[in-house]
Amino acid sequence: MTRKTALSAAWPIFLALLAAQLWAAHALVFFTHEYAHAFTAWLLGWKTNPLDLNYARPTLIVLLLQFGIDQNVNEVPIFASGHGIDAAIIAAAGALFGNGLIALPLSRLGYRVALKYGRSGWALFAYWCTVASVGNFLDYVPIRTFTLEGDMGSVERGFGWSPWVVLIIFGLPTLAALVWLFLRVVPQTLRQLFPASLSKQALVAVVTVGVMFGFFGAVGLLEGGPVAHRLSMLSVSVVLPLAIVAALFGVYRLPVRSGAAATLR
């Protein structure tokens, strides 16, 4: 896809492309995360087939959001046999390896390659993969840190860490990733992909904060316990509106440079 046929297209086409890319980016980053769990369990000897995920019963929700799909790793015998550290490594592998070491760097590489060859539609897709990768950090730390269930609960039990230790060890990198995303990646992407369209810059900026704080930040409304629920309420009702205002303010301060469009077909 090229900028001429996608990013500069009429609004209905652009909006359809945006929706498709958001779905595809989430699915790609999601499965990278889950397979990182599964392959780590396989490498540690706790899973016979790393491709054997729990794919859930096919429904519209599963298709759209992948809810119910997981790594299909039984942690009970791992903890029972005294290998809690293995369970913790498997639990941390999704965000640490899948998102941090695979999806995030590859999405940035894909973005640069797409720009180099003038494929700005693919550059936008790579950008959404970056957003989804950082979002996966946020929905674990801090949203689901203070819980005894799920991946963060396994990390805490396996390593013998308190939630506060997890918050410091993983929270600081999450904060750094968020600052990097919103202060560097987002403004750069808006300037490079939409140099002469404030309206599309504004839409992409608002969708970005919506995905981050209204989707990934809302996961505690579904699981993670009472603290996760409160943190998600804070994310959705306080952080999201403030982030939308900040995003729009940032967009209308960005210079609009029509000459930059010549480098993107």
Do the Cβ atoms of 41 and 90 come closer than 8 Å?
A: yes
The pLDDT, as a whole number, for residue 255 is: 59
User: Tens-digit pLDDT profile for the chain (265 aa)?
Assistant: 444 547 888 899 999 999 999 999 999 999 999 999 999 999 999 999 999 999 999 999 999 999 999 999 999 999 999 999 999 999 999 999 999 999 999 999 999 999 999 999 999 999 999 999 999 999 999 999 999 889 999 999 999 999 999 999 999 999 999 999 999 999 999 999 999 899 999 999 999 999 999 999 999 999 999 999 999 999 999 999 999 999 999 998 865 554 444 333 3
First CA to last CA distance, the chain = 10
**Rounded to the nearest 5°, which phi and psi values hold at 70?**
-150, 180
Integer CA distances (angstroms), 5 to 17, 150, 177, 265, in order: 10, 43, 32, 9
Do the Cβ atoms of 124 and 195 come closer than 8 Å?
A: no
The pLDDT, as a whole number, for residue 148 is: 84
Integer CA distances (angstroms), 12 to 9, 112, 136, 251, in order: 8, 27, 29, 22
Q: What is the DSSP letter of 178?
A: H
Residue type, 92: A
The pLDDT, as a whole number, for residue 257 is: 52
Q: What is the DSSP letter of 185?
A: I
**Rounded to the nearest 5°, which phi and psi values hold at 54?**
-85, 100
Do the Cβ atoms of 169 and 155 come closer than 8 Å?
A: no
Q: Using a cut of 0.85, tell me whether the model's pTM lies above it.
A: yes
The pLDDT, as a whole number, for residue 34 is: 98
Secondary structure (3-state) at 70: strand
The pLDDT, as a whole number, for residue 256 is: 53
Q: With helix as H, strand as E and coil as C, how does 226-250 read?
A: HHHHHHHHHHHHHHHHHHHHHHHHH
The pLDDT, as a whole number, for residue 265 is: 32
Classify burial at 256, counting beta carbons within 10 Å of its beta carbon; exposed 0-12, middle 13-18, buried 19 or more: middle
Secondary structure (3-state) at 54: strand
Residue 192 and residue 164: Cα distance in Å, rounded?
A: 39
Residue 223 and residue 233: Cα distance in Å, rounded?
A: 12
Do the Cβ atoms of 29 and 131 come closer than 8 Å?
A: no
